[in-house]
Amino acid sequence: MKGILLCGHGTRVQVGELAFKVFAEKFANTITDYEVEYGFLELSEPNFEQGISKLKAKGVEEIIAVPVFLFNGVHIASDIPNMLHELQEKHEVSIKLANYIGVCQEMVDLSIDLIKNSISDEDMSDTVFFPIGIGASMADSNGDMLKLSRLAQEELKMPFMINAFTSRMTFPSVDKALSILDQLSFKRIIALPYIFFPGVYLDNAIRSIEAFKLKHPEKEFILCPKIGESDRLIDILMLRLKEVEDGKVDLIESRDPSACSHHHHHHHSHGHHHHHGHSHDHKH
C-alpha cells in the first residue's frame, strides 16, 4: 500500500496547527489511491516520525512526502530530505520527497484568482499591488517571491508593486512598506498574503494594515485571502506528487549528504514562530 505524508513547517499557534490538519483532511478526501497522514518539521505535533508511524500502522510500505512549502530554502534543501532519509532507514520504509511549489504558472493563476475574487472593479489604473511574504535567509527564495508576484502584476497590468516580508530575516518589513505606500497617490491597494495558514506573522501584518486603513480612509485597501484558502493549492500539490510518481523528482535521492542538516539544534528563542512554506536558517 502507498501513502502520502503532507509536510508542514509547524507553528506555536494552535489555530495554525488546526488549519493544517483541516487542509490535510481535505487533501485526503481529494485523493483516492493513497493513505494520507501529515507531520510537522518542528514546533508542532505530529512530527514527521509520528506521521510515518501512522502510515506504517495502516500497512503502508511506500511513502511520498509532499512539502507544503512555497519556495526553496534550508528546510527543503537540507533539513527535510536529511530527516526523512534517517527516518526511512530507521523505520525500514521507502520514502520519496516531492518538490516545493515554487514559481509556476499554476501559482500565478492562483494569485490572480484570489485577487479577482476580492475586487469589484477590474480597472487597475490606480492600483498598487502589495504582496506579503514570510521572507527567508536565502536571497534566491526572496527573489522567487518577487518573480511570482511580478508575473501576477504583469498579467493584471497593475502599474506599481511593493513587496513586504513579515519575518525579520529580510526586508522591507510590512511597516516599512506601508510607510512607503503612505507617500504614494494610488487610490487602491491590493494586498495578497503569500502565506498558507494563520499565525503570528499574518496577525502582525493585519494589525499594521488596520492602522494604515484608519489613517487613510480615502484609500481602498483590499486584503485578499491567504493562498492556503485557494482550492487550486491541492491541484498544484497533485502536480508535485505526479513528478515523483513519474520518476522525475526525489529530493531525498538527489540531496547532498555533505550539506549537514541543522534540524537537530533548532533554537526558537526569538519570540515569534514560523508556519507555512518558507525557509530560514535561524540566525536571526
Residues 36 and 87 in one domain: yes
Residues 165 and 184 in one domain: yes
| Domain membership flag for residue 273 | no
| Domain membership flag for residue 95 | yes
Q: Does residue 263 register a pLDDT over 70? A: no
Q: Which residue has the cell 540566525?
A: 283
pLDDT tens readout for residues 5-39: 999 999 888 999 999 999 999 999 999 999 999 99
Say whether 9 is catalytic: yes
What is the pLDDT at residue 113?
A: 98
pLDDT tens readout for residues 35-67: 999 999 999 999 999 999 999 999 999 999 999
Band of the pLDDT at 188, cuts 50, 70, 90?
very high
| Domain membership flag for residue 279 | no
| Domain membership flag for residue 271 | no
Residues 30 and 59 in one domain: yes
Range of the domain at 218: 105-228
Residues 162 and 213 in one domain: yes
Residues 113 and 22 in one domain: no
Global pTM reads: 0.89
- For 126, the grid coordinates are 490606480
- The answer to whether the beta carbons of residues 82 and 90 sit under 8 Å apart is no
Q: Does residue 275 register a pLDDT over 80? A: no
- Three-class SS of the chain: CEEEEEEECCCCCHHHHHHHHHHHHHHHHHCCCCEEEEEECCCCCCEHHHHHHHHHHCCCCEEEEEECCCCCCHHHHHHHHHHHHHHHHHHCCEEEECCCCCCCHHHHHHHHHHHHCCCCCCCCCCEEEEEEECCCCCHHHHHHHHHHHHHHHHHHCCCEECCEECCCCCCCEHHHHHHHHCCCCCCEEEEEECCCCCCHHHHHHHHHHHHHHHHCCCCEEEECCCHHHCCHHHHHHHHHHHHHHCCCCCCCCCCCCCCCCCHHHCCCCCCCCCCCCCCCCCCC
Q: Does residue 254 register a pLDDT over 80? A: yes
Residues 147 and 237 in one domain: no
CATH number at residue 61: 3.40.50.1400
What is the pLDDT at residue 273?
A: 35
What is the mean pLDDT of the segment spanning 192-201?
94
The total number of structural domains in the chain stands at 2
- The answer to whether the beta carbons of residues 113 and 82 sit under 8 Å apart is no
Band of the pLDDT at 267, cuts 50, 70, 90?
very low
| Domain membership flag for residue 276 | no
Residues 94 and 140 in one domain: no
What is the mean pLDDT of the segment spanning 205-228?
97
| Domain membership flag for residue 270 | no
| Domain membership flag for residue 274 | no
Q: Does residue 233 register a pLDDT over 60? A: yes
Residues 221 and 166 in one domain: yes
| Domain membership flag for residue 57 | yes
Q: Does residue 272 register a pLDDT over 60? A: no
Higher pLDDT, 269 or 101: 101
Residues 224 and 131 in one domain: yes
Residues 220 and 116 in one domain: yes
Residues 219 and 126 in one domain: yes
- The answer to whether the beta carbons of residues 6 and 37 sit under 8 Å apart is yes
Residues 169 and 237 in one domain: no
